[in-house]
Structure 1
Amino acid sequence: MSNNLSYTQTGDYLLPNLTLHQPKTPLGKYGRMRLNFLKQQHPVLYHTMLLNGSLYPTLNELEQTAAAMKEQMMTDLLAKNPAPDKEKNQMAWVQHMNSLREQIEEVIQTELIYN
């Protein structure tokens, strides 16, 4: 096992100089939800992924997957359940679109976030 770490003397102890490489881009909604889920429900998995450096790439991949899934599901649901005419009945259109968005959010949370 090679020892490529540098150490700092703190009192009588030598502490390793460790850095955590986090991405420059902040996590989106789904990445933050998954991060909180892992912290609260699976702390061992969270710490393992954090220490081996796979946590943030995994969360960014999940974020991209959720965005693609959301877009695809919205087009599929609009094809099956067309929205009312926006110019004639705006409130019905908003209600319909919010209903579809909530259905998609529930599927994403069930399949990707809390799985």
Structure 2
Amino acid sequence: MATKITYTQQGDYLLPDLKLPEQPKVEIGIWGRRHLKYIEHYRPILYTNLLTSCKLTAYLADIDELAEDMFFRLVKQFAEKEGVSEQLKAEDQMQWVRKMNSIRNRVTEIVNNEIIYS
């Protein structure tokens, strides 16, 4: 099956009308979008290679899933290690919120350094 290439006139030149095939529609979460911004700005060759090979969406979905799994696993481990429990939540909600926010911020930094910005 031969593909017919069409051209557009630009001044004195005929340029091919190139179009990438449709990529699958996958919902990319916050981690995948952060990584996309990172590779667009700091790793343009990787970004271009993934985009032109139609692997960008699948790659970002994998990164998003990996980062989200790591995030929730580490939050749970830190909370257990630091004694942040449902009992503390029932007894002193503000203390529980402070501790959980601290844990989430630390874990976000770890995920960013280990997966998103590497």
Q: Where on the TM-score scale, by shorter chain, does this alignment land: which range?
A: 0.7 to 0.9
- 78, 94, 97: which one pairs with 1:91? 94
2:26–2:57: 8 Å Cα contact kept in structure 1? no
> Structure 1 stretch 11-20 or stretch 51-60: which is displaced more?
11-20
Percent identity for Structure 1 against Structure 2: 28
Alignment of 1:1-115 (within 5 A): 4-11=2-9, 13=14, 15-83=16-84, 85-115=88-118
Query: Counterpart amino acid of 1:34?
Result: H
Q: Cα RMSD between the aligned structures?
A: 2.0
CA distance in 2, matches of 1:54, 1:19: 11
Summarize deviations over 1:65-105 as a string: whole Å, max 9, x none: 01111121122112211116112211101001111111110
- Distance verdict in 2 for CA 1:4–1:77, change over 3 Å: farther
**SS across alignment from 1:40:** helix
**SS across alignment from 1:13:** strand
Query: Counterpart amino acid of 1:45?
Result: L
1:38–1:45: 8 Å Cα contact kept in structure 2? yes
Q: Number of residues paired by the alignment?
A: 113
CA distance in 2, matches of 1:21, 1:106: 34
CA distance in 2, matches of 1:54, 1:41: 18
**SS across alignment from 2:28:** coil
Could you list the runs of 5+ residues in structure 2 that have no partner in the other structure? none
TM-score by length of 1: 0.85
Give 1:13 shift.
2.2
TM-score by length of 2: 0.83
Could you list the runs of 5+ residues in structure 1 that have no partner in the other structure? none
1:6–1:17: 8 Å Cα contact kept in structure 2? no
